[in-house]
């Protein structure tokens, strides 16, 4: 995790910029320690429950995300993925989240697709807090 390095370069010890951003729940500790070591303790980072993809899937709903995947022409890869034995014990939301991370570039691509599909009143809390604060 390079958060400390970038916080030193860009935050109060370096360029003096105000730092803010999003992080995943699993990375909260890395961010806190990196910001503290960099002397950028005033940085405001908003935490996504699992990750941003999880937040977006929850905000849109499984059915809507599946519609978007179909609209992107990935019905067959999604169907193949969902039929794998390793996916059987996961919830629909967990399976979709995992699907988004199975191919290089897919998370970036669907990040945009999912955000563009959001209605303003459905923006996930961490993302809304970030956007409100900048």
Q: What is the pLDDT of residue 6?
A: 92
Which residues, 6+ apart, have CB-to-CB distance to 105 below 8 Å? none
> Tens digits of per-residue pLDDT, 74-85?
999 999 999 999
For the chain, what is the largest distance between any 2 Cα atoms, rounded to a whole number of angstroms?
51
- pTM of the full predicted structure? 0.87
Tens digit of each residue's pLDDT (9 = 90 or more) over 93-130? 999 999 999 999 999 999 999 999 999 999 999 999 99
């Amino acid at each position: 995790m390079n958060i400390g390095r970038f916080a030193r370069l860009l935050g109060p010890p370096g360029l003096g910029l105000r730092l803010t951003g999003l992080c995943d729940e699993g990375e909260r500790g890395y961010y806190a320690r990196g910001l503290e070591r960099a002397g950028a303790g005033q940085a405001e980072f908003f935490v996504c429950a699992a990750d941003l993809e999880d937040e977006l899937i929850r905000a849109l709903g499984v059915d809507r995300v599946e519609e978007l995947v179909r609209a992107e022409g990935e019905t067959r890869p999604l169907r193949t993925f969902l039929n794998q034995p390793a996916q059987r014990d996961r919830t629909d939301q967990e399976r979709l989240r995992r699907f988004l991370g199975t191919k290089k570039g897919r998370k970036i691509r669907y990040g945009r697709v999912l955000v563009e599909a959001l209605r303003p009143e459905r923006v996930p809390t961490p993302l809304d807090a970030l956007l409100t604060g900048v």
